[in-house]
Amino acid sequence: MRIVVLTGAGISAESGVPTFRGKEGLWRKYDPRDLATPEAFRRDPKVVWEWYNWRREMIAKAQPSEAHRILAELERRRDLRIITQNVDGLHQRAGSKKVIELHGNIWRVRCVICRVRYYDERVPLEDLPPKCKECGGLLRPDVVWFGETLPQEELEEAYRLSSEADIFLVIGTSAQVYPAAELPFVAKRSGARVIEINPEETPVTPYADLSIRKGATEGLREVLDQL
């Protein structure tokens, strides 16, 4: 039995990482469309990097939640794959190995000149904006910004896994950001049992076989016996 899990900001909120759309989310303090876009980066890369430095410092202080650890343990015992919209790397820190990152990783940088990618987990990054260690070009966070397409290889794998799932868990995502929001419906059409864990209703709720109005950890505890 293959279990596929789609996670969103809600699972990391339990680690103290603010969501963009929650009541205490970053949407209420900043407009990411002014910062997380290619246009903003071309206009003022230092300001964009100052914001990402702040986000990296915040995430560095966070620890994987119990929900992250439950999924890592399930991966060791079952055929389980994780598809995440998060860029914080907390699934990997919890021990998960099979993670598809649809929106990139905040700890990875990419050169705008030579396109090389590598991890740089220094906190904070100094001498902003940082430069490529290979060619000296400007580095940007290796995350998907507004107006950019998702990485094709990861997206294709996510669709394939969703279509092959026996159980599809949707945890802590608003299900409003496409194409990731389509994955539960791909799984449903392919015959998977869809289980949603979210304190709030989402577009997935009417179509889920089971919808649990709880946080990630509490909800996962509730469905463990079914997995």
- Residue-wise pLDDT for 69-122, tens only, equals 999 999 999 999 999 999 999 999 999 999 999 999 999 999 999 999 999 999
Q: Is 103 a catalytic residue?
A: yes
Q: What is the pTM of this model?
A: 0.93
pLDDT at 226: 76
Order of strands, sheet of 104-111, starting from the edge strand that comes earlier in the sequence: 117-119, 104-111, 139-143
Extents of the domains making up the chain: 1-15+63-103+149-227, 18-61+105-143
> What does the buried/exposed string (b/e) look like for 133-145 if buried means 16 or more CB atoms within 10 Å of the residue's CB?
eeeeebbbbbbbb
| Catalytic option among 56, 81, 103, 188 | 103
pLDDT band at 53 (very low <50, low <70, confident <90, very high): very high
Mean pLDDT along residues 153-182 = 96
Task: Name the CATH superfamily for 18-61+105-143.
Answer: SIR2/SIRT2 'Small Domain' (3.30.1600.10)
Topology of domain 1-15+63-103+149-227 in CATH is Rossmann fold (3.40.50)
> What pLDDT digit, counting tens, does each position of 208-224 carry?
999 999 999 999 999 98
